[in-house]
Amino acid sequence: MKNNNNTLISDVYFLLTLMAFSIVAVYMGISHNFLMINIFYLGISLLLLVISYFVGLLPGLLGNLIFIFIQGSYMLYENLLQGEYVSFLMMFWLVMPLILSLVIYGMTDHQRKVQMENQQMKLRLSEDTVFDDLTNLRTMNAYQQDAEIFIGTHKRFSIPLSTGVITFRYDDQLLNMMSPENRIKLIKEISKIIVSSLRENDIIYNISGQGGKPRWAILLFSKKDGINIAVARIKKNVEEQLVKYPELNKYDIQLRVGVAEYDDSITSVKGFIATAVQEQEYDV
C-alpha cells in the first residue's frame, strides 16, 4: 500500500514537472524577443535543478534563495534608483527556478523511495524463498526449516546427524579473477557436481544468500565419518569434472569443507552451521 502511495505521488510530481516545463516553453515562445536573457535564466534554473537533484533539497533551496536575493536586489535597484519599470520577464524568472527545483526534487525523491521499497521487497522474497533461482537448490531459509526437523528427529530417535559447509578456497582471489559469466557457470557446475556426488536422500543447499560468496551446505543423518566420505567424493568429482571446461579449469579451483556432527553442546541451527564453518579452518 505504501509503495502504491509513493508511486501515485511520483506520478503527480511527474505531471507537475511536465506542466512547469510546458509553461517555460510557452513563455520562452511568447517572449522570443528576449531569447538570450531567457537562455541565461534557463541555464541558472538548470544549475539549481542539478544542485537539488544531486546534493539535496536544502542546498537546492539555499541556491534558490541566493538567486532570489540577487534577482530581487537588482529589481529594487532598477525600480527605485533607476526608475525603470520591472518587466514581467524578471518576475517570471524570479519564481520559476524555485518551482522547477521543488517539483523535480519531489518526483525524484519519491522515485527513489519506490526503488528502495522494491529492493527491500525483492530481498524479503529472496529470504523467504526455498529454492535458489541460479542453482535450483534449496536455500538458507529451507536449511533452517529442515535442520529444525532433523534435529527434532535426532533427539527423539538418537539418529546421528551431521552437516557440512562447502566453499571455495581463496574465494576472494578466485572470484575477482573470473568474469561474471564464468562465476555463474562455475557455481552452476559445482552445484551439479555436488548433487551428483551425493545419495538421493542426502540434501544439498545453496546458503550463500543474496549477493554473498558461493557456499553450499549438506544435511544428512550420518556420523561425521560418513559425511567425510561424501566430501572426499565431492572433491574428487570436482577435480575430474572441471577438466571438461577449459574456461574454468585454468583457475586453481579448490573446495574448502567443514563438517560438524550434532551433539548436546549445540543449542540452535545457527550454532550447528557455525560449528561446521569453524571446522573449515582444519581443512588444509
- Kindly state whether residues 202 and 146 are assigned to the same domain: yes
Q: 241 and 274: one domain?
A: yes
Residue 3, pLDDT score? 55
pLDDT of residue 116: 77
Banded model confidence at residue 217, pLDDT cuts 50, 70, 90: very high
Q: Name the nearest CA neighbour of 157 among 221, 108, 206.
A: 221
Whether residue 169 is found in the same domain as residue 276: yes
The answer to whether residues 218 and 249 belong to one domain is yes
pLDDT of residue 28: 85
**Whether residue 195 is found in the same domain as residue 88:** no
Q: Mean per-residue pLDDT for 181-200?
A: 88
Do 243 and 215 lie in a common domain?
yes
Any idea what the CATH number is for the domain that residue 213 is in? 3.30.70.270
Residue 161 lies in a domain: yes
Domain contains 110 = yes
Region 100-117: mean pLDDT is 82
At 69 the pLDDT is 86
User: Are 202 and 251 found together in one domain?
Assistant: yes
What's the chain's average pLDDT? 83
Check pLDDT > 90 for residue 260: yes
Is the pLDDT at 258 greater than 70, yes or no? yes
Same domain, 196 and 275: yes
Question: What's the CA gap between 179 and 110, in Å, rounded?
Answer: 35
Domain count, the chain: 2
Residue 274 inside a domain? The answer is yes
- Asked if pLDDT for residue 127 goes beyond 60, the answer is no
- Give the model's pLDDT for residue 163: 93
Give the global pTM: 0.56
Of 284 and 223, the one with more pLDDT: 223
Which one has a higher pLDDT value, 131 or 40?
A: 40
* Same domain as 91, residue 43: yes
Structural domain that includes position 270: 140-282
Note the pLDDT of residue 148. Answer: 92
Does one domain contain both 148 and 275? yes
- Which one is predicted more confidently, 129 or 36? 36
Mean pLDDT (whole number) for 209-231: 83
Q: Do 54 and 92 lie in a common domain?
A: yes
User: How much is the pLDDT for 161?
Assistant: 92
Whether 11 is covered by a domain: the verdict is yes
pLDDT value for 151: 92
Q: Is 249 left (phi over 0), alpha (psi -120 to 50) or beta?
A: alpha
For residue 81, the model assigns a pLDDT of: 67
In a domain, 205, yes or no: yes
- What pLDDT, on a 0 to 100 scale, did the predictor assign at position 166? 92
